[in-house]
């Protein structure tokens, strides 16, 4: 008889715990259309997909930081002032613009 009460009590406690947790786990979704995300920033030339490391260096110079390859396939990245370039071995697979929060606050003060 005692075992049955323990068995029924455990699911009840778990259910109560999930219900209390759900009460405090709300999040706000902010949706910004892709075309609006960098609207306030001036355009920047960046490397394109398929470029070699040598081509990137010849067009954009030495990176500020080279992050060594990790994982399989080996993905490395080069950080420049305005963007970060991601490489699979020797080839550009992606390039993203770096976020500069001080630019936005400086523009508002003017």
- pLDDT in 10s for each residue of the chain, 110 residues: 455 555 566 777 777 666 666 555 567 777 777 666 666 667 789 999 999 999 999 999 999 999 999 999 999 999 999 999 999 999 999 999 888 776 544 455 55
Token readout for 5 is 């009460």
Complete edge-to-edge strand list for the sheet that includes strand 91-97? 65-70, 75-79, 83-88, 91-97
| Exposed / middle / buried, residue 47 (Cβ in 10 Å: 0-12, 13-18, 19+) | buried
Q: Are 97 and 44 in contact (CB under 8 A)?
A: yes
Task: Find the DSSP H helices in the chain.
Answer: 2-23, 53-60, 101-109
In 3-state terms, what secondary structure has residue 96? Answer: strand
Residue 70 lies in a domain: yes
Domain that holds residue 77: 47-109
Residue 58 lies in a domain: yes
Residue 104: predicted pLDDT: 47
Residue 42: predicted pLDDT: 73
Total domains present in the chain: 1
Residue 35: predicted pLDDT: 61
This prediction has a pTM of 0.58
Q: Are 73 and 87 in contact (CB under 8 A)?
A: no
CATH number reported for the structural domain that contains residue 61 in this entry: 3.30.1450
Residue 66 lies in a domain: yes
Token readout for 99 is 């976020």
């Amino acid at each position: 008889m005692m075992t049955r009460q323990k068995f029924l009590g455990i699911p009840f406690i778990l259910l109560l715990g999930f219900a209390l947790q759900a009460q405090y786990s709300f999040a706000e979704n902010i949706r910004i259309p892709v075309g609006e995300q960098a609207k306030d920033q001036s355009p920047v030339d960046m490397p394109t997909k398929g470029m070699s490391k040598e081509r990137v260096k010849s067009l954009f110079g030495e990176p500020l930081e080279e992050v060594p390859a990790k994982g399989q396939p080996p993905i490395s990245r080069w950080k420049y002032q305005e963007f970060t370039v991601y490489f699979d071995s020797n080839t550009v697979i992606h390039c993203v613009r770096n976020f500069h929060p001080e630019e936005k606050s400086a523009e508002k003060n003017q």
